[in-house]
Structure 1
Amino acid sequence: MRAPDSSRLSAEIWRVLYDFVLVQHERHLAAAAEAGVSPGDLKTLVRLVPGEPQPMRALADQLHCDASTVTWIVDRLEKRGLVERRPVPTDRRVKAVVLSEAGERVRTELLTRINQPPAALAALSERDLVALREVAWKLR
């Protein structure tokens, strides 16, 4: 049997990795649902850094969406007491978003859940994990 060429091998690896990522994405969605937040809320909460107000426009850029979508998400999070809007001291026309104490707690809980390694990794040997780590850093 002949070894597959590099492009076929790359395609096979990508399919397997993508399937793995999709399964993990489902875990993240389940964590969000259990916390009572939408996938968009989850993305927003994990991008906000505790104690660092983020201008709405910058948040929209990070989330790759328009300002009206961020306004809608922030409205929902603010209603739940997870974020607060604050004026930016240098330009009071600009609003910044900051996590509330409750938002910081929910964010921490979500990050703890989504950063928990999948069971499939725990099943690998230490040798395989070391090799995977090396390859993962190269891919990054």
Structure 2
Amino acid sequence: MTPRADPLTVDVVDLIGTVVVRFHEEYEHAAAEHSLTGAQARLLSLLAVEPLPMRRLAQRLKCEPSNVTGIVDRLESRGLVERRPDPDDRRVKLAAPTAEGARTAERLRASLDFAREPLGQLTVAERTLLKQLLQRMLGITPEPSQNPEQEEKKGGKGEKKREQGE
């Protein structure tokens, strides 16, 4: 018999679920504002980081390669994605964003306020801790230089003032 989760764990799971639902809803809304489906927006966002072969896209999106082909076809017909040979293996085709696709991905990212607003209420140290805890939950090895002081120096502009109540 599986032991019952303690009340704190149940609360944390419920809160994570609420965050996921809200993020998904806002992501779908932001995608629609750019005339994209959620799947198209996710694929375009992945490609904005790096061109990827179809098989890796399918793995990242947790779907069948045939679904990815259809998504890429539709984005390609809109001039947002192109297929190009992989320089390391010319038998493999990479999906990559066009210049317009990269601009669309950037506008999409900029329009996602749901995560940015609540995270902005946390100090740099709290965001760093949250990042580390989420990485640990997902089995991701954190970068060696992740500590609040270094994060603050990297990009925590204005954080000290807010933390001090100014």
TM-score interval, normalised by the smaller of the two chains: 0.7 to 0.9
Name the count of aligned residue pairs: 132
Give 2:69's aligned residue: 71
In the alignment, which residue of structure 2 is the partner of 1:62?
60
| Misfit runs of 4+, over 6 Å | none
Report the Cα distance in structure 2 between the residues aligned to 1:24 and 1:45, rounded to whole angstroms. 17
What is the SS of the residue equivalent to 1:48? helix
Tell me which moved more, 101-110 or 14-23.
Answer: 14-23
Question: How many angstroms does 1:131 deviate by?
Answer: 4.3
The residue aligned with 2:109 is: 111
- Cα distance in 2, alignment partners of residues 94 and 131 from structure 1: 42
Counterpart position of 2:140: none
- RMSD between aligned residues: 2.6
Kindly provide the amino acid, as one letter, of the partner of residue 93 in structure 2.
Answer: K
Structure 1: 5+ residue runs without aligned partners?
none
Q: What TM-score does the superposition give when structure 1 sets the normalisation length?
A: 0.78
- 1:138 is aligned to 133
Structure 1: distance between partners of 2:122 and 2:40: 36
Paired with 1:84 and 1:14, the residues of 2 have a C-alpha distance of: 40
Residues 54 and 136 (structure 1 numbering): CA distance in 2 closer, same or farther, change over 3 Å? closer
Higher RCO, Cα 8 Å, sep 6+: 1
TM-score (norm 2): 0.67
- 1-side partners of 2:76 and 2:61: how far apart? 18
Q: How does 1:80-95 map to 2 (within 5 A)?
A: 80-95=78-93
Show the counterpart of 2:24: 25
Q: Please state how far the C-alpha of 1:121 moved relative to its aligned partner.
A: 4.9
Distance 1:79 1:121, change over 3 A: same
Q: What is the correspondence of 1:7-22 to structure 2 with a 5 Å cutoff?
A: 7-22=6-21
Change (3 A) 1:76 1:89: same
Q: Distance in 2 between matches of 1:135 and 1:91?
A: 39
